[in-house]
Amino acid sequence: MSYSHDIKNRQYLDILPVGICIISSNLEISMWNEKLENWTGINAESVLNESLSDVAPAFSDPLIMERLKMAFAGGGPVILSYRFHPHMFPFPLEHQNEGRYQRTTIIPFDLSDEETNAMIVVEDVSLITDQVQSYRRIQKLIVNELEERKRAEKSLAVANNKLNTLSAINRHDLQNLLMALDGYLTFSLQKNPNDDVRHYLDKMKKVTDVMKKQVQFTRDYQDMGIQAPEWFNVYDLAYSSLGGIAYRGVDLVCDTKQLKILADPLIQKAIYNLMENAVRHGVHTTRITISSDIRGDELILIIQDNGNGVPDNIKNRIFERGFGSNTGLGLFLTKEILAITGISILENGREGEGARFELHIPAGFYTE
């Protein structure tokens, strides 16, 4: 049981969840509450009138002593942080103090007609200190990871830049060679070759045209994934794409005036490809409709036309590289561009009723 010399209602101090000790101006202990008994294993009665520094040796530090004297001389409360004074009232066994932190406050007070006393309040702040240390460790890990990522991104940007430069040089050289080849084929055809030779020269010319288109494609898409994603208004994307399609008589109905999606800057080409496909492969397409729907966390952007639709037997292959009647890259690259910001695409229209593309946009990548 704790002993209180001066405080009548010392049981109030016993029920508090902090250690409390009261000392006189000559630094003798006059009160020692139950919590301190529990922590230190020192009985209250045994410390009455004992010197504080004898019972709690940390107080014999000249610096602490000087601050105690200053407090008694009118300097006000003293705060002993757990950074510099973690164990002012230590546990009896050394290992019990590991990972334990105390925050100590010394509050001088004058009772009427008596000398100045001081209440020493000790809080166990181990838990919050531990949490802060964990938080700091996590924060440091995140900072390191971010720095690592920045370094990797920088290296990647440099590598990409070099690859693009190399690619541009090769493309330029290839274009020159293709132009020469095309010229020679044209000259050859002008020399009135026999039918067999003309047949093969025509084929060679067609192959050359495809090669030119392929080279053109590599130029168009070389920047895919290089620029940071941006927000694009779907309505604007659709109308600007339609303007670029050299087909007349197609109505565009777009119900997504406010919808914005986060996408690679090449999204313009992706939308253009989808609309160009609707016109090219739909054959008699007269209307393209763009609408949206929320399903769970996702937003579904639907691009639908009233053309021929996609035959059932090729539905699963239209996004494959090399598949298609033109370059075989249009829908493949469209899928890749969309995937940069987590957007997936599928086609689920009915053959004969028109194509229907669904773009699945995850939460956080669209705003309405």
Partner 1 sequence: MYIPLIGQDGIREIITIGIGKSAGIISRLTNAHVYITVPDLYIIKSELNCPFYANLLDNVSLISMEFSGYLTGLINLIIPYESALNLVDLISGEEMDSVEMDVVRIDTLMETGNIIISCTMSALCNIIPSHLKYHLPLYRNDKKNVILIDLNQTEFKVTILVRIRFEIQDRMIEGDVIFLLTPSSFENLISCIVGIAGGDKA
Q: Cβ closer to partner 1: 16 or 73?
A: 73
Applying the rule CB under 8 A, the residues between 221 and 250 that interact with partner 1 are none
Cβ of residue 27: shortest distance to partner 1, in angstroms?
A: 17
- In three-state secondary structure terms, 284 is coil
Q: Cβ closer to partner 1: 128 or 207?
A: 128
* Side-chain half-sphere CA neighbours of 290 within 13 A: 25
Q: Cβ closer to partner 1: 47 or 80?
A: 80
Euclidean distance between CA atoms 35 and 15, whole angstroms: 8
Cβ of residue 117: shortest distance to partner 1, in angstroms?
A: 12
H helix or E strand, kind and range, residue 182: helix 126-190
Residues forming beta bridges with residue 294, ordered by sequence position: 299
Cβ of residue 41: shortest distance to partner 1, in angstroms?
A: 26
Cβ of residue 146: shortest distance to partner 1, in angstroms?
A: 11
Q: Cβ closer to partner 1: 147 or 223?
A: 147
Cβ of residue 74: shortest distance to partner 1, in angstroms?
A: 3
In the block, tokens 């794409």 appear at 241
Applying the rule CB under 8 A, the residues between 137 and 156 that interact with partner 1 are 139-140, 143
Euclidean distance between CA atoms 27 and 22, whole angstroms: 9
What is the size of the binding site for partner 1 (CB under 8 A)? 33
Applying the rule CB under 8 A, the residues between 104 and 133 that interact with partner 1 are 105, 107-108, 110, 116, 125, 128-129, 132-133
Euclidean distance between CA atoms 333 and 270, whole angstroms: 7
Which of 103, 269, 281, 356 lies at the binding interface for partner 1 (CB under 8 A)?
A: 103
Does residue number 166 form part of the binding site for partner 1 (CB under 8 A)? no
> 355 with 278: CB under 8 angstroms?
yes
Q: φ, ψ for residue 316 (rounded to 5)?
A: -75, -10
Q: Cβ closer to partner 1: 59 or 357?
A: 59
Q: How far is CA 343 from CA 19, 159, 277, 338, 355, in A?
A: 59, 26, 19, 5, 19
In the structure encoding, which two tokens stand for residue 335, read together? 């899928």
Which of 135, 184, 231, 247 lies at the binding interface for partner 1 (CB under 8 A)?
A: 135
**Contacts (Cβ under 8 Å, ≥6 apart) of 348:** 315, 356, 358
> 17 with 35: CB under 8 angstroms?
yes
Other Cβ atoms less than 10 A from the Cβ of 209: the count is 12
Q: Cβ closer to partner 1: 16 or 128?
A: 128
Applying the rule CB under 8 A, the residues between 26 and 85 that interact with partner 1 are 63, 66-67, 70-71, 73-84
Q: Cβ closer to partner 1: 142 or 168?
A: 142
Residues forming beta bridges with residue 119, ordered by sequence position: 22, 107
**Which stretches of the chain bind partner 1, using CB under 8 A?**
63, 66-67, 70-71, 73-84, 103, 105, 107-108, 110, 116, 125, 128-129, 132-133, 135-136, 139-140, 143
